[in-house]
Amino acid sequence: MEKEKKAKTVKYAVVKIKGHQYQISEKDEILVDFLDKDKPEFEVLLLVDGDKVNIGKPTLKDVKIEVKVLKEEEKGTKIRVIKYKSKSRYRKVKGFRPKFTRLLVEKIS
């Protein structure tokens, strides 16, 4: 007997937030660069709903994405930058820790 394959209804979108592109679907948590606004603005570039594919030229205007801000400011891992010159006793260490915002995608319509 052959196994019957159930077709999953896949619904996802590709959005552009502050110059970065993210592939999101409903109930996803995404970590984006720090947003200083309560409601982030999205540019929807692509929407896939099962077999239907909508491609924006350059964006889709009629697609709405509802998100909820879980954490306004979340710190990333620290990055250390070291400058060193041999034979001259020159050493310099700098640190950088990026800020992120955690979003929950509630609905894509």
Coil/strand/helix, residue 61: coil
Burial 83-107 (b: 16+ CB within 10 A, else e): eeeeeeeeeeeeeeeeebbebebee
Domain segments of the chain as ranges? 11-73+102-108
Residues 47-87: pLDDT tens digits? 999 999 999 999 999 999 999 999 999 999 999 999 999 99
Q: Is the pLDDT of residue 97 over 90?
A: yes
